[in-house]
Chain A
């Protein structure tokens, strides 16, 4: 890249071309990446609008020759989709609520008090997060049977809460730590007890963070498969991932259409939440993921 022999104008245009080529590459690569990553989902969406007959055509069609909502209708009419959806909603909401309260209190303790107990807890919870789920479901299954909680949604709520706890506490601790202690001290001088200061000052300021954590916890429970698989057995208590999986477990699938429609509907809440808390989620995940969540 020698500029020695060029004039000023030539130099500028050489740089421009170089920049332009670079920028084109960037756009090209970005487009490719986004397409490859996003294609399966877009494909899933498009195909959900194809009538069942068209879905099993070989070779497959791209855009639907016939747009239809038949799959969605069939889903609600012919299957227990609504029941699965309701169960998933109960489990996800329940474990989110518990995560926020139990995790929030724990995170407050860990972020404000540096005593041996809190340090031990931090380290231990990190290890807990590394334990393979499949290892723990065996004894948990035993416990639940003995406790009479086998095949209940409550078991799922408790299990999901416990397993997102290390990560939710990790995030919330970072959010609490960002709130200066002087605010609580000021509140205490102004007349609050410690708990009052927590409720009146810290919590309102931590709300944006709490929302992100809540979304994460909801997502985690919404997507859970293993716990549902092991802890529930009756049709009545199936959550969406489990219900869906029993369908696709069959070797020869005729009802792709309904499956795709179900897949779209399951994904919608997830993506909606994501759009809601996009930026904070990325920042939180990056920090939490790197620091051992």
Chain B
């Protein structure tokens, strides 16, 4: 009862009154559209129209039989697991590093954090510039150091496009992991390490037995969050490659966009969205369960 006042009669009114603008906004712009998308997925909508006739599961059958869809799903998985794995590993390592005290640590942190704060457009622009086959610095460094002979067409060669996209994604979003892990690292009470030192534990043992178990819940949560967000990410890939070359980087969000706003095939776009959301729903349940468990532990 420590932080909640008891509810009086007039208070209930106030509770509703202060909550309603936010609730209204979310219902209007999140709940209603979601329902609407599901509805559209069951219809056939002509180009230029806003609604159409009911066609049952036709669109869904199309999705499940569509090569585009499975290609998109595959690209999504490669993108998500590739970038999230790297983000978690490198991010956690950096967090451990930045948790130690050293001179100019604040400066180092500021640099590490910066990519997360800048607009995606700027990130894309900069990397495009750097990835440019002729005038880009990346190729220059690769050739100059002897790692390759000829310029790599990062964004126009389907062998490398996804890799380029993952590199940019990891660069942009690993600061989030750093922040999350750093936050939990800083809350580990020093006494635990001191007690371990007295007991004779080595640095490695301390890491294994104190640090790791402590950060594990946050690690898992962060990984789940990044997975969900990466899966939904649209702008970074769209701006880097537009989905190409030859749809090699067309993930599900881009596929949905193409179907809806390039082909004007709203109903199929909606169907894809629903199916993809169900796939994500599985991930989300894991997330909610893990969150409940970690809340109980706290």
Task: Tell me, yes or no, whether A and B come into direct contact in the complex with CB atoms closer than 8 A.
Answer: yes
Choice from A121, A135, A271 contacting B34 with Cβ under 8 Å: A135
Q: Which chain A residue shows the least CB distance to B272?
A: A135
Is the beta-carbon distance between B29 and A162 smaller than 8 angstroms?
yes
Docked Cα-Cα span, A23 to B291, in Å, equals 37
Give the contact-size bracket for chain A: 35 or more
Choice from B22, B222, B225 contacting A105 with Cβ under 8 Å: B22
Contact with A along B168-187 (1 / 0, CB 8 A): 00010001100110111000
A56 at the interface (CB under 8 A from B): yes
Q: A34-B112, A134-B232, A180-B3 are in contact. Are A240 and B119 (CB under 8 A)?
A: yes
Is the beta-carbon distance between A118 and B19 smaller than 8 angstroms?
yes
Choice from B4, B183, B261 contacting A283 with Cβ under 8 Å: B183
Q: Which chain A residue shows the least CB distance to B16?
A: A117
Q: Which one, B56-64, B123-131, B188-196, B205-213, is touching chain A?
A: B123-131
Q: Which residues of A contact B153 (CB under 8 A)?
A: none
Is the beta-carbon distance between A105 and B18 smaller than 8 angstroms?
yes
Choice from A40, A143, A244, A278 contacting B33 with Cβ under 8 Å: A143
Nearest chain A CB to B213's CB is how many angstroms away? 16
Contact with B along A135-154 (1 / 0, CB 8 A): 11011101101100000000
Q: Which residues of B contact A274 (CB under 8 A)?
A: 113-114, 117
Greatest chain A CB density within 10 A among B10, B14, B232, B287 is at B14
Contact with B along A33-55 (1 / 0, CB 8 A): 11101101101100100000001
Is the beta-carbon distance between A44 and B135 smaller than 8 angstroms?
no
Docked Cα-Cα span, A113 to B256, in Å, equals 40
Nearest chain A CB to B141's CB is how many angstroms away? 10
Docked Cα-Cα span, A194 to B25, in Å, equals 24
Is the beta-carbon distance between A33 and B97 smaller than 8 angstroms?
yes
A131 at the interface (CB under 8 A from B): yes
Q: Which residues of B contact A142 (CB under 8 A)?
A: 36, 50
Contact with B along A145-178 (1 / 0, CB 8 A): 1100000000000110111011001000000010
Is the beta-carbon distance between A290 and B235 smaller than 8 angstroms?
no
- Kindly list the 9 A-B residue pairs having the minimum CB-CB distance in the complex, ordered from nearest: A286-B183, A106-B22, A38-B111, A132-B232, A139-B36, A139-B33, A223-B119, A34-B111, A162-B29
Is the beta-carbon distance between B19 and A117 smaller than 8 angstroms?
yes
Q: Which one, A6-14, A24-32, A66-74, A206-214, is touching chain B?
A: A24-32
Contact with B along A226-252 (1 / 0, CB 8 A): 100010000000001100110011000
Is the beta-carbon distance between A162 and B25 smaller than 8 angstroms?
yes
Q: A194-B14, A244-B125, A291-B291 are in contact. Are A159 and B102 (CB under 8 A)?
A: no
Is the beta-carbon distance between B118 and A132 smaller than 8 angstroms?
no
Instruction: List residues 1-44 of chain B with CB under 8 A from any CB of chain A.
Output: 3-5, 7, 10-12, 14-16, 18-19, 21-23, 25-26, 28-34, 36-37, 40
Docked Cα-Cα span, A230 to B218, in Å, equals 35
Is the beta-carbon distance between A136 and B34 smaller than 8 angstroms?
yes
Q: Which residues of A contact B276 (CB under 8 A)?
A: 132, 135
Q: Which residues of A contact B22 (CB under 8 A)?
A: 102-103, 105-106, 121, 125, 165, 169
Q: Which residues of B contact A194 (CB under 8 A)?
A: 10-11, 14
Is the beta-carbon distance between A30 and B235 smaller than 8 angstroms?
no
Is the beta-carbon distance between A118 and B184 smaller than 8 angstroms?
no
Nearest chain A CB to B271's CB is how many angstroms away? 11
Contact with A along B106-149 (1 / 0, CB 8 A): 01101111110111111111111110001111001000100000
Instruction: List residues 218-272 of chain B with CB under 8 A from any CB of chain A.
Output: 218, 221-222, 225, 228, 231-232, 234-235, 239, 242, 253, 256-257, 260-261, 266, 269-270
Greatest chain A CB density within 10 A among B100, B108, B134 is at B108
Choice from A103, A185, A223 contacting B120 with Cβ under 8 Å: A223
Q: A117-B15, A121-B22, A132-B253 are in contact. Are A23 and B102 (CB under 8 A)?
A: yes
Q: Which chain B residue shows the least CB distance to A247?
A: B125
Is the beta-carbon distance between A195 and B14 smaller than 8 angstroms?
yes
Nearest chain B CB to A286's CB is how many angstroms away? 3
Nearest chain B CB to A33's CB is how many angstroms away? 5
Is the beta-carbon distance between B180 and A26 smaller than 8 angstroms?
no
Is the beta-carbon distance between A162 and B26 smaller than 8 angstroms?
yes
Docked Cα-Cα span, A181 to B107, in Å, equals 38
Contact with A along B266-283 (1 / 0, CB 8 A): 100110010011001000
